[in-house]
Amino acid sequence: MKREKTWKDLVPVAELEDQWVSRVTFGSRLIAVYDTPSGYYASLALCNHGGADLCDGYFDGHIIECPLHQGAFDVRNGKPISAPATRRMITFETRNVDGILQIRI
């Protein structure tokens, strides 16, 4: 049976890099958290093309670019927008509760 997703504390918002991508360890996962003009977004941190850490990539607005091959994704929905990224990346819903960023996972 599929487990129901619940909200979990991820990181204090104050610890996130301003208008950039931050790397957060969550259990066994590496999560990339994006501070964008329209709020916070989160995804798995490793690029689904070559496995590089997106948190070392170039971030601009809502676009995260992989540091290895410059494939890029829209962090709002995980959609690939530049080759060689071709598959949607896994994203998580986020919310800010009293200064703590939570993800639904």
Partner 1 sequence: MTKPITTPLTQALAEGKLTRDELKSFMRRSNIPAFKRLAIWVIVLLLTSSAVYFSLGTAWVFPAMFVHGVVLVHHFSLQHECVHYTVFRTRWLNDLFGSICGVIIGLPHTHFRYEHCDHHTYTQIDGDDPELVPMPKSFASYLFYLTAIPYWRTKFTEIWRHSFGRLTASEKRFIPKVAYKLVFLEARLMLAAYLTLVGVMVIFDWYSPLFYWIFPLILGEPVMRFIRMTEHVGRPTVSQMRENTRTNLVSLPWRFLCWNMNYHAEHHYVSSVPFHALPRLHEKLKDHIHVEHNGYIGAHRDILQQLNLPSSKSNSGV
The site for partner 1 (CB under 8 A) is made up of: 20, 25, 28-30, 45-46, 50-53, 56-58, 60, 63, 65, 67-72, 81-84, 86
Task: Name the minimum Å distance from CB 31 to partner 1.
Answer: 11
Q: Which is nearer to partner 1, 30 or 105 (CB)?
A: 30
Q: Which is nearer to partner 1, 77 or 86 (CB)?
A: 86
Asked, as a colleague might, if the bond just before 80 is cis with ω within 30 of 0, I would say no
Q: Which is nearer to partner 1, 25 or 96 (CB)?
A: 25
**Cβ pair 33, 24 in contact under 8 A:** yes
Chain centre distance of CA 44: 6
Question: How distant, in Å, are the alpha carbons of 5, 77 from that of 2?
Answer: 9, 22
Task: Name the minimum Å distance from CB 20 to partner 1.
Answer: 7
Through-space distance between the first and last CA atoms of the chain, rounded to whole angstroms = 16
Task: Name the minimum Å distance from CB 49 to partner 1.
Answer: 8
